[in-house]
Amino acid sequence: MGLFLLLILFSSCEKVNYEFGDLISPTNVTLTAEIVGQDEANPYGDGSGTVIFTSTANNAISYKYVYDGNESIAPSGLKTFNFGLTGIHTYSVTVVAIGTGGLVSSATIEVEVFAAYNPPADLLTMLTGDDSRTWRIESEVIGHFGVGPVDAVDPIWWAAQPNDKAGLGAYDDRFVFNIDGTFTHITNGTVYGQAGPMTEDLGGDKGMTANSNGEFENYPLDDYSVTWALSAPGGQETLQLSGIGFHGFYVGGSHSYIILSRTANEMHLKTVGLDGNSWFVIFIAE
């Protein structure tokens, strides 16, 4: 019996070797851009502001696009951006090809794009009150936060119950849209969101520990101001926030928000986060 126990103990102490294979950096990274509607008569596109980017590389297992400080994953290398700033403007977009072991290589391209969208008057009035308007998360209704697959128009995986996230750094936030195109997020000192994108985009973990869902519940963040722009790719009203601008639950990604529905005092928004999922929020005007 003693010999049997000794053999078990000796066996359990044997060193296990793990093989990860070769670590290979992607090579020959290419990045091309198709400006929708571009032809001889319309060298900067058809006015939709839509550009389809395609990237390829040897030894790449995934891709990440970086624009205006925001990142979004594109496993196939294909990514569509909707540039909503009215007029002809030049944009710089970078793709990062990701290889085994996290080794990366990148390429950058500049595109000159025309956006001709003229938002309807009622949309501008709804958003800004024709001057300045303050919004909050409508925490008292079902689905004020939610998540679903990338092509979903409803939070089919999970929808927050009324006041489901009380005590976290979200419900006291205020979102101010000004007619001059500026956006101010009043955080009251803390915000709520996914730990990974927050750590990467907002200045590290700041000593915070993520909860069991991988979230920072009360992440320190001062009030900040960025810009907003409206576009309508494919006829879908879309709100673009620059920089770190977000909708009350930080998920990274492109910071582009589809307006799924709106009334005079309420709007339902959807964005695709860095994780490739759709994240939903309901705003109500104060």
Domain of 83, CATH number, reads 2.60.40.10
Do 45 and 159 lie in one domain? The reply is no
Residues 88 and 185 in one domain: no
Q: In terms of domains, do 276 and 138 share one? A: yes
Is 127 a domain residue?
yes
Are residues 142 and 219 located together in one domain of the fold? yes
Q: In the listed set 86, 115, 144, which residue is the last one of a domain according to the structure?
A: 115
Assess whether 218 and 174 both reside in one domain: yes
CA 94 to CA 197: how far, in whole Å? 18
Which residue, of 98, 115, 132, is where some domain finishes? 115
What does the pLDDT look like over 166-214, one tens digit per residue? 999 999 999 999 999 999 999 999 999 999 999 999 999 999 999 999 9
Q: Is 1 inside any structural domain?
A: no
Q: Which of 115, 140, 170 is the last residue of a domain?
A: 115
**79 and 148 share one domain:** no
pLDDT reported for residue 21: 59
Identify the pLDDT of residue 22: 73
pLDDT of residue 85: 78
Q: Is residue 13 part of a domain?
A: no
Identify whether 147 is part of a domain: yes
Number of domains in the chain: 2
Give the DSSP H/E element, type plus range, for residue 126. Answer: helix 121-128
For residue 50, report the phi and psi dihedrals to the nearest 5 degrees. -90, 130
Query: What's the token pair of residue 275?
Result: 């994780």
Q: Are residues 207 and 73 in the same domain?
A: no
Asked if 280 and 268 touch (Cβ cutoff 8 Å), the reply is yes
* Domain match, 154 and 260 both: yes
Q: Say whether both 82 and 128 belong to one domain.
A: no
Residue 196, helix vs strand vs coil: helix
Domain annotation covers residue 46: yes
Looking at the fold, whether 64 and 192 belong to one and the same domain comes out as no
If one counts every other C-beta atom within 10 angstroms of the C-beta of residue 12, the result is 7
Containing structural domain, residue 51 = 27-115
What residues in the chain have per-residue pLDDT under 70? Answer: 1-21
44 and 186 co-located in one domain: no
Does 136 fall in a domain?
A: yes
Q: Mind listing the pLDDT tens digit for each residue in 145-163?
A: 999 999 999 999 999 999 9
Return the number of other C-beta atoms located less than 10 Å from residue 63's C-beta: 27
* Beta-carbon contacts of residue 244 (< 8 Å; ≥ 6 apart): 69, 201, 202, 224, 226, 250, 255
Position 20 in a domain: no
CA atoms within 13 A on the CB side of 100: 8
Q: Within a domain: residue 226?
A: yes
Alpha-carbon distance of 201 to 190, in angstroms, equals 15
The pTM assigned to this predicted structure is 0.74
Residue 273, CB-side half-sphere exposure with 13 Å CA sphere: 24
User: Are 136 and 187 within one domain?
Assistant: yes
